[in-house]
Amino acid sequence: MDFLKDPLKVAADWLLGIFAGWGMPELWANVLIGFLGIFILVALLMVLDIFLVWIERKVVSRFQSRIGPNRVGPFGLIQPFADIIKLLIKEDTTPEGADRVLYNLAPILSMMSVLILWAVVPLAPSILGVDLNIGVLYIIAAGAIGTLSIIMAGWSSNNKYSLIGAFREAAVMLSFEIPMLTVMLIPTIFTGSMGIGAITQAQDTWFVFLAPLAAVIFLIAAIAELGRSPFDMGEAESELISGYNIEYSGMKFGMFYAGELLHAFTFGGFWAILFFGGYRFFGLEQVSAFLAIAILFFKAFIGYWIIMWIKYTLLRIRIDHMLAFNWKFLTPVAFVLLMATAFMNALLADASNWLYIGGMFLSNVLVAWISLEVARSASRRERERVEGGKAVEAHQ
C-alpha cells in the first residue's frame, strides 16, 4: 500500500539501501538518486512528447475533417517514431556565416526551458521535484530562457527571416510575460504562497471559480508565450517562411518542434494546476499517487486540447495588433483584476466560504464586463477614426 501512496519515497529508500550496501556515502547516494529521478522524469517526458506529436496530428486532422496518420501501426500510433527516424537521418545543415556555438546551443536551450519547468510540477501530493516557495516566478524565469533560445536561434542563423521572427517572438514573449505574471499572482493571493505545491493544496475550491477571468487571461498569455496560433509571430509561415527555426534541419529542428509541443502540454498542465486544482479531484488523489498523476495528466490534456482547438480555429493576428492588445487591453485588465482581487480578499477575509467565492466570482465578472465595454467603445471610436462614419454603418 505504501508504494501506491508514496512510490517516490519507497523507491528512494529502496535505492538508498542498495547504494548503502555498496558502501557509498549517504550524501553521494542522495545526489545520485536525485540525478536518477531527473533522468527518469525527463525520459518519460520525452516519450510523452513523441505521443504528443501523434495526438497533435490526429486532433488537427479531425478539426480539418481528415483522418490523419493511419498507415504506420494501429491508428498510426507508430507514425511519430517514423518521423523521428526521418529527422535523425536527415542531413544536419549549418548555414554559412552562422554563429556555430549559438546556433547549436539554441535548440538545447529551447528544450531545456521546457524541461526545467517540470522541476516544480506537483505530480502527486508526495511527488514534487522541488517545492520552491517562489514557483510562480520560476515559471516566468524558465520562459525567459525560452526567449533567449529563440533570440539565439534567430540571430545565429544569419538569415533575415529568422532574425525578424526571433525579434517578433521575443517582443511577444516579453510583453505577454507581464499579464501572465500578474494573473499568476492571483492564485498566490488566494493561497498566500507562491509555491506551486501550496497552490495545489489550497484549492479546496478550484481557483477557476474564484477567478474565471484570471484563468482566461492566463490561457491567452500562455498561448502567446508558446508562440502558437493565433499568436505564432515567430514562425508565421506565410510571411517569414518559418521564422526563427528556418535554417534548422534534422534533429535540431526536431528539438524545437518537440519543445514547442511539450511546452504547450506543460502550459495546459500549469493551467490545470493554477486554476483547476492540479492533481486534486474530490479526494481521489489520496487513494494512490498514480491516480493523482493520471488526474493531473487528464486535466493537462484537456488544457492542451483547448490550446490546440484555439490554434486550429483562429487566424493569425497582426503583430502590432497583438502587442497593442497586450499593452492596451490585457495588461491593464490584469492589473485591475489583481487589484480588485486583492481588495476583495482583504474585504472578505472574515467572510464565510460561500460569500468569499461569490464575491470573488462577481468581482471577476464585473471586471470582465467593464473592460469589455471599455474596449468595445474604444474600438468603435478607433474604427470610426480609421474608416469614417459610413463604413461603420455598413459594418453594422
Partner 1 sequence: MTIDQIIFLVVAVATLIAAFRVVTTGNLIHAAFWLIAALFGVAAIFAILHASFLAVVQVVVYIGAISILFIFAVMLTRKDMRDQGPQLNRNWGFGAFLAALALVGLVFLVHGWSGVTKTAPAFPSEFDAVSALGNALVSPDAYVLPFEVASVLLVAALVGAVYVAYNRK
Residues at the interface with partner 1 (CB under 8 A): 27, 99, 102, 132-134, 137-138, 140-141, 143-145, 147-148, 151-152, 155, 158, 163, 167, 170, 174, 177, 193-194
Q: How far is the CB of 390 from partner 1 (least distance, A)?
A: 31
The amino acid present at 11, given as its one-letter code, is A
Q: How far is the CB of 151 from partner 1 (least distance, A)?
A: 6
Q: How far is the CB of 174 from partner 1 (least distance, A)?
A: 6
**CB-nearer residue toward partner 1: 106 or 340:** 106
**CB-nearer residue toward partner 1: 50 or 137:** 137
**CB-nearer residue toward partner 1: 136 or 295:** 136
Separation of alpha carbons 133 and 118, rounded Å = 15
**CB-nearer residue toward partner 1: 167 or 265:** 167
- Name the H helices within the chain: 2-5, 7-21, 26-63, 79-89, 100-115, 135-156, 160-191, 196-201, 207-210, 212-226, 237-240, 250-275, 289-311, 319-324, 331-347, 353-395
Contact by Cβ (8 Å): 261, 52: yes
Contact partners, residue 157, CB within 8 Å, separation at least 6: 95, 98, 103, 163, 244, 246, 247, 248
Q: How far is the CB of 193 from partner 1 (least distance, A)?
A: 8
Q: How far is the CB of 168 from partner 1 (least distance, A)?
A: 12
**CB-nearer residue toward partner 1: 144 or 347:** 144
**CB-nearer residue toward partner 1: 79 or 156:** 156
Residue of 83, 145, 136 lying closest to 114 (CA atoms): 145
Contact partners, residue 248, CB within 8 Å, separation at least 6: 107, 153, 157, 256
Separation of alpha carbons 259 and 114, rounded Å = 6
Distance of CA 110 to CAs 207, 254, 377, Å? 30, 11, 41
Q: How far is the CB of 112 from partner 1 (least distance, A)?
A: 12
The amino acid present at 38, given as its one-letter code, is I
**CB-nearer residue toward partner 1: 42 or 178:** 178
Tell me the CA end-to-end span of the chain in Å, nearest whole number.
Answer: 65
Separation of alpha carbons 78 and 51, rounded Å = 9
Structural Rg of the chain based on CA atoms:
23
Contact by Cβ (8 Å): 157, 246: yes
**CB-nearer residue toward partner 1: 180 or 213:** 180
Residue of 204, 219, 354 lying closest to 281 (CA atoms): 204
Q: How far is the CB of 310 from partner 1 (least distance, A)?
A: 25
Q: How far is the CB of 48 from partner 1 (least distance, A)?
A: 26
Q: How far is the CB of 247 from partner 1 (least distance, A)?
A: 15
**CB-nearer residue toward partner 1: 342 or 347:** 342
